Structure 1
Amino acid sequence: MGFADQRYTVNLSILFTELPLLERPAAAAAAGFSAVELWWPWVDSPVPEPSRLSALRRAIEDAGVQLTGLNFYAGQLPGPDRGALSVPGEESDRFRANVDVAADFAAALDCRALNALYGNRVDGADPAEQDALALRNLVLAARAADRIGAILLIEALNRPESPRYPLVSAPAAVGIVDKVNEATGLGNTRFLMDLYHLSRNGEDLPSVIERYAPKTGHVQIADTPGRGAPGTGTLPLEDLLGRLAKAGYGGWVGLEYKPGDGPSGESFSWLPAGPRTTDTAEQYEQ
């Protein structure tokens, strides 16, 4: 099993960014994809004007693609921030203000996965207090996700690019998953297994897959070292995706890579046309 046996969703916050936001869903559809995902699109606002939400919803619906994943507000991303929920003060307030906004937007598009980036360590803040704040906010997020029939995702990033982010290994992220599930009793918090980030951390990816596939709610890929399309680096992504399938993972694989110098639509030559379009029903009910 490998590339041709997966279900792919295009991250429109890193691919097709040469186009305005509202044109990207149609571009993904024109490239043959039926599913897309997004970071929180409005870094300037956790609670955007309803007209902005409506316009993006129409763009996704008109393109005929399924929104499979959405980040909660995470600060300046891309940029210096790596989330807001563990950051004391205004940033965590913004996260809480965004929770129901993001969940309601996801529900309107039948999106079943919400990703909550943990946030950086902050100078002068006690890490234990940041972790306590994070747990309180993640409980709110998990309950909002449960309200719309969705899962909450917790992601590990990589230390070289995110040196102040505390979740820089699969065990660290899964530890938070377990804490949130224990606190809520809902069981809807899952691990987001980003193979690019875990590779940059030097983790044994076959071992990570074997150990954590049962707790994984979503997978994202990019090649290393340049975070490009599969085949542009050294990561054996086809083999790793085959291992994930054999381990029982049958959900979406998010394409979260940089397209290179050309248009994003030219970055999919590694992928046969067939897997780009698939039945989107119940992908997260594993």
Structure 2
Amino acid sequence: MVSSIDLKALNVFTLSTVTQDMIHKLVVKTLQVIPCLEDKNKKTTSEGKPLPSLMTFINRLVRYTNVYTGTLMTTLVYLERLKQKLPKNAQGLPCTRHRIFLSCLILASKFHNDSSPKNIHWANYTEGLFSITDVNLMERQLLYLLNWDLRVSNEEMVSHLGKFLDPIKEDLIRSSKMRQYLQKQQQAVAAQLQAEKELLATPSISRSSSTSSALSLGHMPSHSRASSMASCHYRQDSTSSVESLSPVMTKRWTNGVDPRIEMAAQNEEKELTRMLDHLCKGSN
């Protein structure tokens, strides 16, 4: 099962440009497919052309076709499958590896792209090393050996490209950690700004309330002063009444009887006595 980080790294890798490290990987893999007879005195093809090194041959194809990185590196999977299919005692000619890689690249280009060069163009890209007949034959032979199964899974690509994907995955992990750190920093700054905003909003409400209270009090000074004056007059009247009381009344006041009530009662008693005396005199 391929992890999400592997898929991301694979996507990044397939969008990168072809490097010499990738071509070197292809050369090594192609050399491992089948052992070939080395004839130092005669390194030519069936067309009589001198046989270039495998590195030079692959570089030439990449330059002519401007192939995508994903398509080029898919040949690693086909080379591995072909290695598993060939007999252990199989042995090829000096040009066999060139044929194997060319046929793998042709099938990868045709299967994984909407449009790809025709076989006549591939023959031209070899600069006369192989004819159109040779190209057609090697394509059919490889299809037969691979049982016409050209599908390539992500698991296969990841397993063959570990050397290239590991640095990309490390960069992705660092970038992810950096994004998480920056996101936390942004959230902290946003929370701080929100707290400061709420803190600044609270005093303004208090000031407006204080101002309203002051204005309300400012509209009622005359009433308050009038009430205070009335209270002052009441206290003065009360003081005068208390001072005019006799010592007996003062004593009774201290006992809890209102002196004004006591005075009124005495006056009524005097008036009643006077009226009784007047009636008594009139009857005599």
Larger radius of gyration: 2
Point out the structure with the larger strand share. 1
Point out the structure with the larger helix share. 2
Bin for the TM-score computed over the shorter chain: under 0.3
